[in-house]
Chains A and B, each alone.
Chain A
Amino acid sequence: MSLFQYRLPELHNMLHSKELSVSELTEQSLAAISERDGKVHAFLTLNEEGARQSARALDDKLASGAARGLLFGLPAGIKDNIVTKGLRTTCASKFLDNFQPIYDATVVSKLRQADAVTIGKLNMDEFAMGGSNENSAYAAVRNPWNLEHVPGGSSGGSAAAVAAGEVLFALGSDTGGSIRQPASYCGVVGLKPTYGLVSRYGLVAFASSLDQIGPLTRNVEDSAYVLQAIAGYDAQDSTSAKVDIPDYLSALTGDVSGLRIGVPKEYIGEGVDASVRETVLSALKVLEGLGAVWEEVSLPHTEYAVATYYLLASSEASSNLARFDGVRYGVRVDEGGGLLDLYHNSRSRGFGPEVKRRIMLGTYALSSGYYDAYYLKAQKVRTLIKQDFDEVFKKYDVIIGPTAPTTAFKLGSQTEDPLTMYLNDILTIPVNLAGIPAVSIPCGFAGGLPVGLQIIGKEFDESTVLRVAHAFEQNTDYHKERPQL
């Protein structure tokens, strides 16, 4: 029987009581990958030998009776923009095809300290730029529910690997919805924590003021479990928040009676598929049945979020990606010209089209004469978007809506039209601009594809977000559905 039917705390206990060994669990993960990943393409680098070695070491540790970490023996996949010492990290870019990090990201150190087993590195959109995973320089990830459809992006490999039962949990990064949107498309749980809760040290930066690392799991309890292990202040990250970390598992009480839910009319209006809207409204009825109350509210600046995001994210990206010059690491194309030619040639051959497009857009928005019109303007609108949330949270505990306006679309159907692709993120982007936490959980199906419910919370109030998600999950079975591969 598959060990992947169990929740992480259950597996933790089974390993603890020696009912199961870490090596057995690791082998099951490797076997699932070898059986299914040829169809899904979730992995870019498999850490087969390293994982087996860690598993043996952990089994020895158990035998010796030494203290065990929270994620003891649990197989994890890591998005390939999070650096792992000695394990190739490519950001799904040809630029970093041969890049071997010389240190671990803080989240990776935390996973190691918690005794998790790193199975490998997961596919993504190049440098996390994209909403469909079709921008990977290696292979487009396929949606495990329907291989003709995209898994979402940019953490598409992370979501697909969890949905396909290849790993028990994965880490992703979310800049404009890159954890929640693929979680929604693949029918898994994806949590974007409050900005600053999880260290970004060792995350290859895309848009530094928006990026946040978070877990992708099969259920809400697992999400709380992984968050517990990775959250916390880190002196290595100057944007890390000094806040107390609560016990996220004990927050999962199942009780939502009297909870006040705001449902933004902009999130269930025009542009949202009727089937998605209906599924989300049915989910609200479930919460209503548990004693929560919901009312329609307004986040009036929602329609400006996409434009704001693309100006800010592209500007920050153009600045962050300036460090890729072919001198210290990565691709180098030297055709005998001078240093400037080396920069030009290395960057032009190393970056794919979406990355170039965003560098161009960002460079333009920051260039002399346009800074005020684009970058500064977008920063001001960001304030208005944040104020919208502050206003609603004066009266409501959480905000609920769909994660994405549609279910997963077909591969190749939007690649020629970047603007349409960008608009898929309209419901996730405002959360990143405001820096607040949100989770996407499975809440039903439309046309055989999963629909995600997005639960948005106040700053550092992951506990409430997870509590609501968990209460819904306890009263429905959508998270137990598995794709047939």
Chain B
Amino acid sequence: MSITVKDVQHVAKLARLQLSPEEEATFTEQMNAILQYAEKLNELDTENVKPTTHVLQVSNVMRDDIVKESLSQEEALLNAPEDEDGHFKVPAVLE
């Protein structure tokens, strides 16, 4: 299976990346090489193998539902590139 520039453009859209035509060409070539290498995994029969999503046997870590102090509005907005009246500011979403 090989991927085309069109596939790369589609993936870039999903990944919220704007690629230049040069980047599209380079990534097409490099991703093909890497994915071709990944085909190696198909040599293995994994029909009855359970996937390992995590090495630790932990599940559903919960804490008590206790009210705790949270970040102040000022702290939360400290690194915001743009803010207004205590909110993160973004361009208009609705026309």
Contact = CB atoms under 8 A, between A and B. Distances in A.
B15 interface: yes
B17 A359 contact: yes
A239 B60 CA distance: 10
Contacts of B11: 360, 363-364, 367
A112 interface: no
Most buried by B among A209, A337, A386, A422: A209
Interface residues of A, number: 69
Contact of B17 (A306, A338, A348, A382): A348
B5 to A, nearest CB: 12
A380 B51 contact: yes
B9 to A, nearest CB: 11
A357 B27 contact: yes
A380 B49 contact: yes
A100 B81 contact: no
Interface string A370-411: 000010111111111010000000000000000000000000
A271 to B, nearest CB: 14
A231 interface: no
B91 A338 contact: yes
Interface string B71-95: 1000110111110000010111100
Contact of A379 (B18, B51, B71, B91): B51
B27 A304 contact: no
B31 interface: yes
Interface string B29-60: 01101110110111110100111111110100
A361 to B, nearest CB: 6
Contacts of A364: 3, 7, 11, 31, 35
B61 interface: yes
Contacts of B40: 303-304, 307
B16 A381 contact: no
A202 to B, nearest CB: 14
Contacts, number: 162
Contact of B30 (A100, A331, A418): A418
A361 B14 CA distance: 12
B48 to A, nearest CB: 9
Interface string A327-356: 111111010111111111101100101001
A382 B79 CA distance: 38
Contacts of B82: 332, 334
A128 interface: no
Contacts of A361: 31, 34-35
A241 to B, nearest CB: 6
A372 to B, nearest CB: 10
B16 A325 contact: yes
Interface string A275-298: 000000000000000000000000
Contacts of A363: 11, 14-15
B91 A342 contact: yes
Given A337-B91, A353-B23, A381-B46, 10 more contacts: A98-B79, A318-B15, A329-B80, A345-B18, A347-B16, A356-B23, A360-B27, A364-B31, A364-B35, A435-B56
24 contacts: A102-B71, A209-B53, A209-B54, A307-B41, A318-B15, A328-B80, A329-B80, A330-B79, A330-B81, A332-B81, A338-B91, A339-B93, A340-B16, A342-B90, A347-B15, A351-B17, A377-B42, A378-B38, A380-B52, A381-B46, A383-B49, A384-B46, A386-B55, A419-B33
Which 3 interchain pairs have the tightest Cβ spacing? Answer: A435-B55, A379-B51, A332-B81
